[in-house]
A and B are shown apart, each in its own frame.
Chain A
Amino acid sequence: MAEILVLVELNPAGGGVRKTTLEALTAARALGEPSAVVIAAPGTAAGVKDSLAEYGAATVYVAESPEIDEYLVAPKAEVLAQLVGEKSPAAVVIPSSPEGKEIAARLAVKTNSGFLTDVTEIAADGTATQAAFAGQVIVHSKVTTGTPIYTLRGNSVTPEPAPAAGTEQEVSVSLSDAAKQARVTDRVVEQKSSRPELTEASIVVSGGRGVASAENFSIIEALADSLGAAVGASRAAVDSGFYPHSFQVGQTGKTVSPQLYVAVGISGAIQHRAGMQTSKTIVAINKDPEAPIFELADFGVIGDLNAVVPAATEQITARK
């Protein structure tokens, strides 16, 4: 069976593989037999190879070097290109994070291949599905040159176990000077959160301008916590200083595709719809019956969010 290279994306600080990696392994199985590629600091692969095998990695390529994390993006692209040269895979699948897309881009130049970003589905014949223009247009595309490279948008594919051998294979790392130009000197965490990561969460509760203040975002957080959800914010809420930018959902923020998206006090401007339109189920709570968000909503409550949201939080908590 054709070999498909899947780049492993890791949680920070020994937190194991990200769910996006398991999704990529699952999607890659439509094309052939996935091999996982771990490009990371020494000692990383040992802790993650079991979960990679469980989700279908026949081989786990281990490219470990202390230099990998010292520089931005370029080292990973270089090692992956070396592996593509040696193994001639039928395709490469990479989780669609900012870094993943940049690795794909560099790999495409290095291997003279086409690449497709933020795909939501990959068919057996290599045809990829993408949601263009804020999710308004569904596009089918195909790479026609070189080794097809795909980045897979998070939450598009449900990870399914398919136990495989997960045979480890060492890959030597020797970086060029060109890959060692942009040095990462510090990694700073400013907001520690026990909530799920926005793009990975199966439920997202977002607040908009209607929440009216930074303090009042606590009712959004409380609803999110009752549902085990991530918290998001519209651009209007971020621009008003109610919530930090890294939680912004929309055209200039994150694109999310959860099982359930709850939009609270969000009117539903195109800017916001761009980031959440592909969510499976959408609930809107807004006092304006004409708000465009209701056009997208499977369930809408016309009412004062300050009454509805705390009451709903209480009832959800009571059901546990």
Chain B
Amino acid sequence: MNIVVLVKQVPDSGSERKLDPSDNTVARASADNVINEMDEYAIEEALAVKEAQGGEVTVLSVGPDSATDAIRKALSMGADKAVHVVDDALHGSDALQTSAVLAAALGQLEYDLVVTGAEATDSQMSVMAALLSERLGIPQLSGARKLTIEGSTAKIERQTDGGYWAVEAPLPAIVSTWDTINEPRYPSFKGIMAAKKKPVETKSLADLGIDAGAVGLANAASQVLDFAGRPPKGEGVKVTDEGDGAEKFVGFLAAQKIV
């Protein structure tokens, strides 16, 4: 079983994130960059499938040089090798362009299963499985809280409000995973040391046969016009409960005509 797991490096969602006022793109250089948290569940799931079925796990990432850290993290968890698509012309690419690049890179790999996190914590679009399914013509098994491989069929439980949908499709397929699917392993010391020696192949747009004029900020299908910080909220009212906290709370709701 050849498994490809998609990994994105993002600004840490636990610290302040910014857009770069010079071109309205995500300010990555100044950010505390980490592996997209949701991708760790995808990596864990890919490793679990490999452990059950045999095969190889390849990490695929599109991103600047710094994304190497996210790739090493995936390798230290146990993935076997990696492909890193890096090219200055990619700066400012949108989800559509990134999906075209990932599709081209996947076209140069052998895969039975592609796994990705259900969302990136920076853009929060939750669309990469759908985009790649559309581009590659392989089935979309997205939003999984459970994945089972039975022969040449992949089955998921797609998380829904208050339950799930059982969805199945023939391999090759693309699966996206929520954080309900597993508990990602921590890289062991041995894993971290081994990761340093695992092969990471770097590919440019030219290597993928993609015209630089098709990607990047200037050629995106949508543009950010401007942005601004959320206006700060006015100082709220704060009361200390001295037996009258509930009364004051309900009084506030009444003043707002909520009760």
Contact = CB atoms under 8 A, between A and B. Distances in A.
A316 B239 contact: no
Interface stretch (B43-51, B56-64, B189-197, B223-231): B223-231
Nearest to B16: A136
Interface of B: 13-19, 24, 37-38, 94-96, 99, 119, 121-122, 124-127, 129-131, 133-135, 137-143, 158-170, 173, 178-180, 220-230, 233, 236-241, 245-250, 252-254, 256, 258-259
Interface residues of A, number: 93
A296 B127 CA distance: 30
Given A117-B126, A301-B238, 9 more contacts: A101-B127, A110-B134, A117-B125, A137-B18, A137-B230, A227-B259, A245-B159, A251-B124, A252-B119
A105 interface: yes
A190 B139 contact: no
B185 to A, nearest CB: 17
Given A109-B131, A143-B222, A297-B236, A311 B164 contact: no
Chain B residues touching A, majority SS: mixed
Contacts of B241: 301-304, 307-308
B131 A143 contact: no
B233 A182 contact: no
A77 interface: yes
Contact of A316 (B122, B165, B248, B253): B253
B236 A316 contact: no
11 contacts: A102-B130, A105-B130, A116-B222, A137-B17, A139-B24, A141-B224, A182-B140, A189-B162, A192-B162, A198-B161, A299-B252
Given A105-B130, A182-B141, A315-B247, A298 B221 contact: no
B130 A106 contact: yes
Nearest to A140: B225
B96 A137 contact: no
A153 to B, nearest CB: 11
Interface stretch (A24-32, A55-63, A84-92, A127-135): A127-135
Interface stretch (A34-42, A156-164, A206-214, A270-278): A270-278
Contacts of A116: 222
Contact of A301 (B137, B163, B166, B239): B239
B140 A301 contact: no
B146 to A, nearest CB: 12
Contacts of B225: 127, 140-142
Interface centre among B122, B240, B248, B259 (most CB of A within 10 A): B259
A138 to B, nearest CB: 5
Given A101-B127, A298-B237, A184 B159 contact: no
Interface in A228-268: 245-246, 251-252, 255, 259-260
A178 B250 contact: no
Nearest to B125: A117
Contacts of B134: 74, 77, 105-106, 109-110
Contacts, number: 263
Contact of A312 (B142, B179, B220, B249): B249
A105 B95 contact: yes
Nearest to A181: B139
Contacts of A132: 19, 227
A7 B139 CA distance: 22
Contact of B161 (A197, A251, A301): A197
Contacts of A72: 139-142, 158, 165, 167
B50 to A, nearest CB: 22
Contacts of A146: 221
B164 A190 contact: yes
Nearest to B129: A102
Given A98-B143, A182-B169, A260-B258, A277 B230 contact: yes
Contacts of A192: 162
A281 B256 contact: yes
A138 B228 contact: yes
B233 A298 contact: yes
B150 to A, nearest CB: 13
Nearest to B254: A319
A133 B122 contact: yes
Interface string A161-190: 000000000000000001001111111111
Nearest to A314: B246
Contact of A98 (B126, B167, B226): B126
A143 B225 CA distance: 10
B17 A133 contact: yes
Contacts of B127: 101-102, 104-105, 117
B138 to A, nearest CB: 7
Contacts of B240: 289, 301-303
Contacts of B164: 188, 190
A312 B246 contact: yes
A222 B259 CA distance: 15
